[in-house]
A and B are shown apart, each in its own frame.
Chain A
Amino acid sequence: MDDMNEIINEFITEAMESLDKIEPLFVELEKKGHDADLVNEIFRSMHTIKGAAGFLGFQSIVDVAHSSENIMKKLRDRDISLSTELIDVILKSIDMLRLLLGHQQAKDGVEENISGLINDLESVLQKALEQPVPSPSATDEPAEEKSVDSKADISNGEEISSQKQVDENIHEKEVGHDNSLLQSGEAATAQRSLADEQASCELPATNKEIAKNLRVDVNRIDKVMDLAGEVVLVRNRLMNISHYFNQKYSDDPLTETLMESVSFLDRVTSDMQLAVMKIRMQPINKILGKFPRFVRDMSASLNKDVALHIKGEGTEVDKSVIENISDPLTHILRNAIDHGIESPDERSAKGKSPAGNILINIYQKGNQVVIDVSDDGKGLDTDRLKQKAIEKGILSMEEADKMTDDNASDIIFMPGFSTRDTANELSGRGVGMDVVKTNVSLLNGYVEVRSDRDRGTTFRICIPLTLAIIQALMVEVSGSKYAIPLSPIEETLQVSSAQIKNVNGQQVIVIRDRVCPLFELKNLLGENGNGNGKEDSEQKYLVVISMGEKRFCVAVDNLLGQEEVVIKALDGIDTSSTYVLGATITGDGKVVFILDVNSMSRNFFEIAKG
């Protein structure tokens, strides 16, 4: 039974991936008009999904894939011509396939009603068949060129027919022993070999590179990553010891050998750590695939014409970044289409092309990955932003007057701010760009906005390449060491106790004319002081932290400096109320906690509100 599960899981992963792959192709197809290669690729993917779902007995998936495949087949054979209606309904069937696959994955046994969709698919096909197909000479592609094309594609065509044959074989076998196949483990292997057969048929014509890839369980990679981190710690210890020997026994010739070996180990370890980290890196285009469709659907529903351009989709980022960046990006895109890009008439009136453009540009800069989302829309109306913020009571008159345009642009990141008066389905649900800011800061990154009136808006997201390693400020409280992530830290100061005021029991400090609440880290962490800490000394060190518009400082006994730390998860401890995000292990093998300033800020300001 486990074997069977494995096959099913593999099928689901692969099917999901091919759906992700073909979805943007539809949008491309719509843009380009008829393109034999694209149609073929979509057809092939649908066919593979259908075939595999067939011998696993997922009938509803087979039905949906079959109907869509029929349309693709007719498109390929040029029996029908492409229409928006056709693409809409096939996109819908892709959504349905995802849903069905999701049910199979969750094993929740939920049945979706697919008959409506199947009817749609069939009626659209019927309608398209009845319509006269423009003769090849009438299309933009001359007939001669087409024949050249098909000659060039001979290998491709052959491959398809051979694959088709194999598939038909599979189907014959499947019909014969459908039930018995599904029950015995031996049969599962037989299916596996059939699947392999099919895969090997597909392989030569598609991409040779596929053979070089290996699907590996993430846990195994994480394990290697852990071990690599361990080697780093041992190296650090060895380096300390070798320095000691170098100082004490500098005459001994062996000391030099030791130093040499250790420095070699040092280099190799660094290389190894980098290599392991690279295993986890994936090209970001994995999440970009859904955006062309998203932009198409959303701009259509708003009667706008928006073209999406993507640059740098091959940029590689850590798996964890890929998993978390999709939502903020969707939000920014939604905002750009809804608020940024004007309607075609408005654009024409301004002398712009009726179609708006959005560019997603992704590139690596140092150890950060930068994602720019720019539109050529109307830009941010800073006066309106200010006015709105005052109305909502987020901003005072005086504050608004003092604001520069740049600062005013940041208003959109304030919690509870949304300029749309009526919430619509697509954006402006009261949750605004502050969500983007929070999500990005959870990834230890930051987001900025730049805007030119009538020329467009650019959102820039900067995120560290990996979440496994962060820059942190090491501080000391009551004799214990803690790490504070560097990204939300605004500055550090040294103040005397006299500067700290007390307002209604809350300690505050005035930093450059701004009042800032102050918290003793000692109290936050429930440290009772084990005698090592300096009790109420005259001088205090403050770490000023800003999370969005919230700003506060924490007082510590000592600042120890900046370090690159490897985040280790804390399994088995409920960290929800501990202000601890994770732990790290320092060079001397000690465990140091990384503080969760996010939950601190949430707690402080909730208390303040209540």
Chain B
Amino acid sequence: MANTTVSLSESKEILQLVTFTLGTEEYAIDILNVQEINRITEITKVPNSPDYVEGVINLRGKVIPVINLRRKFNFEQKVTDDNSRIIIVEIQGVTNGLVVDSVLEVLRIPLDSVEDTPPMSVELNSHFISGIAKLDNRLIILIELDKLMGKGVTL
């Protein structure tokens, strides 16, 4: 936690986020959940698993599941390319990988630039969106991982 950003006033609470893209949208997760970010490695498909489970990877001797966020969000599928990454996150003690289109940056934003999720259609599964950050002309969707795949949430 080095104090690199000077422009932000010290009294305000600051969020540190890792931002990534899926399609044209920008998303962000809390940096404290992120263990590391890897290039796409060989993914072994898990038999009889839900389709958003992309498979498992060998992370230095540990076998960890990898979730395809595009499938989880019911987006159109896309073949992984050089920009694709696996974000290794730890959610309630369990390590998971998330396949995303690309990873952008580590962002420090003041808490007050985050707005509550605007009311959306009930049909939309938005309970794991904790808010939307407005930054210049960017809109970043904040994802709460505990609600996306924590305990009690059926994977």
| A residues neighboring B (CB under 8 Å) | 226-227, 229-230, 233, 480, 524-527, 568-574, 577-580, 582-583, 585, 589-593
Contact = CB atoms under 8 A, between A and B. Distances in A.
Contacts of B155: 572-574
Given A527-B47, A579-B47, A585 B56 contact: no
B47 A226 contact: no
Contact of B63 (A526, A527, A585): A585
Contact of A590 (B44, B46, B62, B64): B44
B105 interface: no
Interface residues of B, number: 22
B120 interface: no
A577 B48 contact: yes
Contacts of B49: 573, 578
B138 to A, nearest CB: 31
A195 to B, nearest CB: 31
A210 to B, nearest CB: 33
A589 B58 contact: yes
A572 B95 contact: yes
A580 B62 contact: no
Given A525-B48, A526-B47, A591 B61 contact: no
Nearest to B42: A590
Contacts of A585: 58, 61, 63
B53 interface: yes
A572 B94 contact: yes
A142 to B, nearest CB: 64
Nearest to A574: B155
Interface string B139-155: 00000000000000011
User: A525, A571, A578, A582 — which one has the most chain B CB atoms within 10 A of its CB?
Assistant: A571
Contacts of A226: 61-62
A589 B45 CA distance: 15
Interface in B43-72: 44-49, 53, 56-58, 60-65
A303 to B, nearest CB: 51
B46 A593 contact: yes
User: B42, B48, B96, B154 — which one has the most chain A CB atoms within 10 A of its CB?
Assistant: B48
A580 B47 contact: yes
Interface of B: 42, 44-49, 53, 56-58, 60-65, 94-96, 154-155
A383 to B, nearest CB: 46
B64 A572 contact: yes
Given A572-B95, A593-B44, 6 more contacts: A525-B48, A573-B65, A585-B61, A585-B63, A590-B42, A591-B63
Contacts of A580: 46-48
A489 B70 CA distance: 40
B47 A568 contact: no
B56 A570 contact: yes
A582 B63 CA distance: 9
16 contacts: A227-B61, A233-B61, A525-B48, A568-B61, A568-B62, A571-B65, A572-B64, A573-B46, A573-B65, A582-B63, A583-B56, A585-B58, A585-B63, A591-B42, A591-B44, A592-B44
A104 to B, nearest CB: 25
Q: Which 4 A-B pairs have the closest CB atoms?
A: A525-B47, A230-B61, A572-B94, A591-B44
A579 B57 CA distance: 19
Given A571-B95, A572-B95, A573-B65, A578 B60 contact: no
B61 A570 contact: no
A590 B43 CA distance: 9
Given A572-B95, A574-B155, A591 B47 contact: no
B47 A593 contact: yes
Given A226-B62, A227-B61, A589-B58, A572 B48 contact: no
B60 A230 contact: yes
A229 B44 contact: no
A591 B56 contact: yes
A282 B74 CA distance: 50
Contacts of A480: 44-45
Contacts of A227: 61
A169 B53 CA distance: 62
A357 B70 CA distance: 66
Nearest to B92: A572
B47 A571 contact: no
Contacts of A578: 46-49
A119 B61 CA distance: 58
Nearest to B60: A230
User: B48, B57, B60, B61 — which one has the most chain A CB atoms within 10 A of its CB?
Assistant: B61
A570 B48 contact: no
